[in-house]
Chains A and B, each alone.
Chain A
Amino acid sequence: MSARGVVLAGVGGQGVVLASAVLAEAALRSDFEVKQSEVHGMAQRGGAVVSHIRYGETVASPVVPLASADVLAAFEWAEALRWMPYLAPRGALVVDARRIVPPGACKDHRTWGVPYPAMDTATVAHRVADVLLIDASGIAASLGNPKTANSVVMGAVSRFLDIDDVAWEKAITRFVPPGTEELNIAAFHAGQEAGSVRPEAIPDLGLDPIQQRSYRIEVDHSWCKDCGICPTVCPEFCLAMDHAHRLVVVDEAACIGCRLCEALCPDFAIRISVGDPAVVSGGAP
């Protein structure tokens, strides 16, 4: 058997590293050779965490090559998309239907929202054999401890791997915090049973539509004295002075509605109004 590859991806605090230790241990107990490597630079601060596990008769490299993971298990949707290139063309994708916006994500200054990719399995379905979008966090919470979501995910992952339940249970018992073994094993089995969900069925997904606002810039040329102040303060270079030193609106589409031009126009001559919004991301899948 050639080595099998699994990529686990999530953000700091979700238990990605623990889940990968469980998988590595379970594979070892099934008499495979196992290699594992992980990257968790900003793990404590909600940064991306990814772990590669390869197991089989013999394993050379600990790193899963691009487009060759049998299973990609993601603990939230954006991380699933981020690591998609590692999934083999006919691989299985397991995703906890959660949305975690990285704290480092800049707010988009045109929408005042954080653009987050729409949670739509159709966008990836053509590339994978199986997509399992499960409500792992919801299942874990209903079992009594939302922190066991990683065990729920691993339960779902186990459906695609040749490792028996006994090995999994022993591995879980070895690594989870003392006192939570039963709960995690229950969560694992719940994950084995979990069916795909439709994202809109999960409350608290925060799939609020993000709207791209548009703005209209109106200059009353009979009031404007072409003083040149507004082009120097506009952060988006929407305004400019032409060769005859006349004010021209050069890029209305770039306007973010900051109204700095309004506040600093000495002649009450420039007006910004909000145009019709358009949904650019998020929203019901």
Chain B
Amino acid sequence: MKRLDIMKRAGRNLAQAKGRTFLTSLAIAVGAFTVTASLAAGEGARQYADQIIKSNVDPQSVYVTKESMRQNAAQSNGLKEYSENQSQYGGMSIEMLSSDDIASLKAVEGVDTVLPTYLIDAQYIQFQGIDTKYTSDITTYDSTVLAATAAGDMPPLGEQLAANEAVVPESYAETLGVSAQDLIGKTLTLHLVKTGKTPSETEIQAAFMAGGTEAVQALYLSESKDVTLTIRAVSAQSSTSFSASSAVFISDTKAEELANYLTEGTSSYQQYVSATVMVEDGVDIEDVKSTIKDSGLAALTAKDISGMIFTMVNVLQGIVFGFGVLALIASVFGIINTQYISVLERTSQIGLMKALGMPRRDVAKLFRYEAAWIGFIGGAIGAGVAYVAGTAMNPWITDTLTLGDGNYLLIFVWWQVALMIVGLMVVAIVAGWLPSRKAARLDPIEALRTE
């Protein structure tokens, strides 16, 4: 008997028992819904994470630290050997990158630029014409990522700010109660205070010789400095770019100058928590990364970061997926039950088909295809409901989680859904195996006797 003929008969048989078919399919649909939703949420989360990383990190950049975070965490509880270039940062003891490290990074083949992370701690900042003092983070402007502009003009992609220029986020204008446009051309003063200078013994001796005790005391006193910059542009708020909304941006040269000023004479002079290495276009970033790693430093690329986030997303997705699979396993028993009843109910029909010379194999196929149809219908209902509900809820989810316009948490990938439905058909066929075998083994005369 031809496969297509068997399939058609299977479909008609199911259409005959609509209620039962529908209810059995519904059990599968619950599992299929959960699986589809978990797939869509996982896909959406990955794409969202990917977008966040893309708008914050250049794919051609490597983030370098002295030791990997994992190493750090592993050792944080234990006794740790003292190292000259060690610093307390964020409550953790971190080994810093020295200027030698920076130099050796620059020497790596394929490296375009090396931008150390300058830590600039301003006591306060002041805007022109406004008396109030504010505190703010100060960061190096990232020329590799083009931030959205609210007012003024950003340097073109790949170009730095001038030394006396600054970019502030739109949220600052809101806090100040002025429009973003008003800030353009205004000046911004950073008040830097230098503390914690530890004079060497010779310096103390020299000061004492020159000015007695007073001169020595002066050595320990803090110095301060005001730096005035002109606001060139205001960056627009972005739901995916973090840096753009949280700090004053200054040029790399200015940042270096200020960082050097603040740390000069301390143990952290020309020591850096991290550095961003830009790799030349056309050079494989993985090669550069492995060279850096071989030199004993820790290196992280955008891909690594997304890999870490993806692992988390995958774990969460796996949990939801698991529940869906559990529901599907439960529905398998529904299929087995339905098919057994179907075989019992249609004993005389099976007897007739066998009396007409239908081979065992084809009788079994007929029942397996019916099971496959049930799997297909269940999968299609579950996936369909998930798609309709998900598409309808997406704007609301985006709003509630402030994902930013155009970002949806639930992204349905057709081939994933198709694969799931095919998978369900296979599962249904396996579930229908025993009932179909029972049907195939019926003796025609015995079967026809049943009325």
Q: Do A and B associate with each other? A: no
B interface residues, Cβ below 8 angstroms from A: none
